[in-house]
A and B are shown apart, each in its own frame.
Chain A
């Protein structure tokens, strides 16, 4: 029988309605409670579980006690095996990590969690990409690409994954500095990748194009990009799985996933470089920047790839920035954004940009 682990972060999302951006620190949580914030995660988790139950007759459900899952499972009318211990009413990030680790040891097929970016980050800190995860969206910040669009969708995807075995897709887990976020600055870090069940839209036959499997799409993009590459030109590969697919297509298997690499003549020139190193390498040389939008917000510059500073971008020129994104990714972020910290440069990017979306296929996408 299939095993499902459930983790509810009961305080996720509490900050949102009272105008606080996240509840990562105990002080903020206290403040949120003071402002009269109500928990939102439990109710949304119950919604997801109801749909799951509807689609799936038999599976084993494992969860943590009380508000971390047991209560929600009961409310949805599901039988559950409760593991671990918590202090009800005082759960922390450590509880999430512990729960995830124990579920890994229990060999669950999927961890379904209710929370936001923080919960996603805690989960992958504990289990890396060893267990597929799927987020029921309940948090304030959901920049990571591990969340279903609605709680119902989370239930349905989980059921289909357990029942039919959907393919897995690597999805970014983003960590946003909440302090900065509260001050209206977005400092996003790409923290890592999780394995997430991928649900291709169930298309009628194949009269239609588009949509397919993420990995195959990335590979197709990579093949197209490699065909376009010229000798003696430097290619600055930004972070992400799509750009890594390009490196792999070149036969480079030790590129960095979260950092910036330099490639020349189809070979790795330098690995995980910072802004200074990039500038030193590219000055006066023909260069192309290859980036992919990061997270659900669709930033192509300025989030998770701050090494590509305004100076670097100016040095290369807008016309030499290649943006790569799979059709699936673009469906999540129909418009793209830039936030280099240099508003004049940002303005240059506004309007339409060509995004490479497949093998010899590009798409005009609006940058706002």
Chain B
């Protein structure tokens, strides 16, 4: 076939080419329902549904002056009472946060001050566009946005940042445009990633949670002002919200019954009746079977999306664990088949695929290109007592991932040192499918780190993957706001330009460390870098301190709190900064590790050690963006690079990492009361961050993307995937604890993983990843030719899924910049 670019393809590629050739999808027959559901919104640009924002705003307007947690609960009740409920054709689950098709909803409490601009720009922006009807746009501008002017979290933060921090954060006085130096991420989400204790809802139901709150309310000390002012509003909020979610579910039940009454197809009629029965029972009461359990979980998850914008979508937790008892019971009593199990799960995946985690601010959109989503479903790992946790349901999740044609859900597989061969084989086969799933998270790194930060082994062993690469312990962890994304490549530029950046002209943004031509030794140059680095760290921590204080006055989360053990025990909302017994795991982001290491290594080696280049020549070449200085650019590229297991470069990487973890160990608990750990996970933001940094001493031209996560610079890792892993290991400071996730992307050609032999070697590769105690790894298995072809002819490749940064997305949904970035990531072929 002439369109086929090479003779070895991943199953995903084969499927695409089959579709182009007009062949029927091989999984279509066995997944008829979900294929029908999917075809209805395939390729649709997402629509904005304003109902959530509208009812939320209406209620908040009415409740001013009351305790925030109570206001939030009342707003949720108002939404539950009024929001349009839907029963979708063919769908087996009930519960949506908005209209039919691919949709997103608005959270004006976060960034309502952007809303009028956003409504104008969203349909046409390059990154993650969306549509809105003219009537809805009008209501946003007239009924929603005005109320929030002066009240949003974003405005409060913008006003609170001192000038020397503000100038590293924002490019304009209103804080609408990021400087992309010490970038705050708290104003485009209410919190960082989170996982609910879904198991509790399945086991107890919200009626029981409401009963518990009522008992606590009745037991309050009638003479205590503290009980009256703090605990009472919280408990009342829990009662209101427990009733609200049940009310919302029952409105769905009523609609399903009504539709059953007029349904003429007897099969669908009985489906609708069963759906109505489910929604009459859950989430009020405990789930009795697998179907009810799925429905209950789905209501909680969708109501949570109505409640707040949790960073990068609310995660799903350890689904193969908490759903397993229901699955096993159904299999044992003959009421459930594997095909039915998969069908129900896939109905859920469809619902996830339709919900778009909308980013209103341009910065948010650029951070999360391709409609990013991290509703992480966790499988595998260990039980709380340290036994292997994989079960029959685990394998059904992996199977569904191979057969379901969309990049939902975001699937995370926990790996541990005794993971059974069967499990790893299935994981490897799923990776080979080629759409980037599952991502792997390593128990051997996460568990001891969490224990060192105060968790019990039992809690740490039961962690769930949350969002892109994080891990949560849903009843011990409390959470914080999004942390700073710090552009350390800008720190290198500021060393070269005495505290300034080409993009921002003469303005002094960093430390004036002096003219680099005056640095006689590498040590002086390094010292200048450290000064810039520490300034950025300090700025990030000041931001975080202010954010933590502000957050508690802007957000509440009564439903999430109602299912958190510590919140219920102490009658306190999850958004409050100090929750007794809680552990708070935040992080800040190191942007551009590969870019920085390679740049510093080039300066150290070529200027100070080998003296093949003077600082003058280097600066002249950088000022000219290497034009007319191609020999200097080429020479710079011969310096040692991160990602090659090169001790020279990796030693610099470890020194850089140490500055961050030392600072974190010293200041995070003391000044912030949270663990603010260094992380290397950029989402898609290495692209916009690169756009503010001029040419760098690693031969990178100006405005080009930075290296992403803990991966090597573009094309710099020439020694294969083992070397990239080892460089990661080498640059970690294992003696410190102030570290969180490191994201590592590895790209393979399908040929490299061909056949059982290829699977076997991938399994060995994964086992070694586990031995090396690296936090995360994910794989793209795709040929470069396919990506290039998709760029040329996006229409044909509409369904091509690629791994970006802890999530997968449609390749054609990405901006050209990011597409090129992905193509440029080194591909490890069959050697």
Are A and B a genuine interacting pair, yes or no? no
List B residues at the A interface (Cβ < 8 Å): none
